[in-house]
Copies of this chain bind each other. A is one copy, B any other.
């Protein structure tokens, strides 16, 4: 098992003027950021497996994923990894904004580029800019709904049901393109990777599921 080394000095701050129109084209969420915040945004590049904050750290920054993937995780006592949030574009750890310290670890799942805002500037912007405040609210509400769906999924007690629920709630029309390794998917579904491999195989054999490289499709 990999031990994530916490060394934020590895994270490269890229000091170049940001091209907002193209950022917004890639990540529409970036369009919500008001001008005052744009001015203080810093671009940050993180390598795969790099930790950019840890549980207990004081909340000093807010991150927006531009490319790659950032994750909130928790390591349980046996070393198992629980994925609490996976962001491939958009904010990560939004709810930390009004906490003193982070309540989980954040890592880059692959080579990842993010925008970094100081949390104080961010809070200030939310106080000053009504429209921004409203968008932020919509974003949080969406996260709540997503998490409820995940709780519902984790409450199912068979691997088959969790896979089906995942495809139906995260994909569309019974089809989903996987954006992660199966091992990661297993962690997100709350089962071991072995169980997931076997489940996919069995469902495929029974003709319930089409399994391609990175595409899962339920057969009706």
| A interface list, Cβ under 8 A from B | 72, 74, 76, 82, 84-85, 94-95, 97-99, 103-104, 126-127, 130, 133-134, 136-138, 140-145, 147-152, 154-157, 161, 190
What is the bound-complex CA distance between A138 and B155, given in angstroms? 27
A152 touches B97 (CB 8 A): no
Given A134-B133, A150-B151, A152-B84, also A103-B157 (CB < 8 A) = no
- Determine how many copies of this chain the complex contains: 2
- Residues in B whose Cβ lies below 8 Å from that of A133: 130, 133-134, 137
What is the bound-complex CA distance between A145 and B101, given in angstroms? 12
A95 touches B145 (CB 8 A): yes
What is the bound-complex CA distance between A72 and B147, given in angstroms? 13
- Residues in B whose Cβ lies below 8 Å from that of A85: 148
B126 touches A137 (CB 8 A): yes
What is the bound-complex CA distance between A151 and B144, given in angstroms? 12
What is the bound-complex CA distance between A94 and B85, given in angstroms? 20
